[in-house]
Amino acid sequence: MTTKIELEKDFDVENPVFVEGLAGIGHIGKTTVSYLADHLDAEKIGELYSHHFPPYTIVNDDKTVDLLRNDIYQIKRDDGKDIVLIEGNAQASSAQGHYEVAENIMNLVEDLDALKIVTVGGYGTGDVVDEPDVFGAISSGSTEQYEGIGIEFDHDVGQIVGASGLLLGIGKEKGYEGVCLLGETPGFMLSDPKATEAVLKALESILDVDLDYEDLDEKVEESQEVLKKLQNLQKKQGQDKKEGSQDLGYIG
C-alpha cells in the first residue's frame, strides 16, 4: 500500500457535490465535514488509507487501535442534489504524499462525475475573535455566485496548504468548478467550534441543506473561553521573553 481507497459498497449518487474536510489547523475541516455526516444521515461507503500518513495509530475507548484513515460517505437526496463527503483524522506528512493522496481523491471525484468540489480548512491568524470570518478561494470563474452567504474573498490569504488547496488546484487543471472555505482561527492545536459553525453556515447555502446547531452551542462557549486564555498566556510568554532579552542585553 502507498495510498488506496477501499469501498465497502458501490456509490448510488448522481452528479454529486464533493466535499473534503481533513485534519488541520483548528480541526475545522474534519469537524465541519464530520458534522455534516452526522446531521445529514450520511452513509459510509469506504475509506482511504496511505503510507504517507503519520506513523501512529488511534487508541479507541475500548483500547483497540485503528490506522489513521479518511472516511468516505454519500448522502442521497430526494431533490437529486446528492453529496459525497471525505473526512479524516490525518493528512500526508510529506509533499509527495500530499500530492499522491490528492490525486487519489481526484480520481474518485472523476469516477463520480462530481459537479463541484468544496474543500474546507482553517486559516490561523493568531487572534481570538468573537465572529470568525470564512475566507474563500475558487478554482475559476467569478466569486459572485457566493455573495451574501458569509464568505469573505477580500483577504490576504496567499496559499492553501494540504488537500484543501491541492484538490482545488488539481481540479482546476481538470476543468472542475471548486471553492475552498477557510475558517478564521487563532491557530492553536485545539478544535475551534466557533469557526466550524461559521463555515457550516456558509456550507448550508452552497449545499442547500438545513442544519441544527444545538450540539455546537455549548462547545462554542467553552472553546472561546479556552482560546482567550491561551491567547493571553501566549502574549504573557512573549512579553516575558521580550523583557528577558532586554535584561540579557543589559548584562552583556
Task: For residues 68-85, give the mean pLDDT.
Answer: 95
pLDDT of residue 246: 44
Can you give the residue range of the structural domain that contains 236? 3-251
Supply the CATH number for residue 176's domain: 3.40.50.10900
Residue with more model confidence, 194 or 239: 194
184's grid cell? 478564521
For the cut 50, the answer to whether the pLDDT of residue 249 exceeds it is no
pLDDT digits (tens, 9 = 90+) for 97-144: 999 999 999 999 999 999 999 999 999 988 888 899 999 999 998 999
Highest mean pLDDT among 188-192, 206-210, 230-234: 206-210
Write the DSSP string, 86-137.
EEES---SSHHHHHHHHHHHHHHHHHHT-SEEEEEEEEE-S---SS--EEEE
pLDDT band at 82 (very low <50, low <70, confident <90, very high): very high
Cα–Cα dist 102/163, whole Å: 6
pLDDT of 193 reads: 85
- Amino acid identity at 106: M
* Total structural domains within the chain: 1
Q: How confident is the model at residue 220 (pLDDT cuts 50, 70, 90)?
A: low
Question: Which has more pLDDT, 89 or 220?
Answer: 89
Q: φ, ψ for residue 35 (rounded to 5)?
A: -65, -40
User: How many of the other CB atoms lie within 10 Å of CB of 12?
Assistant: 10
Least confident of 51-55, 176-180, 235-239: 235-239
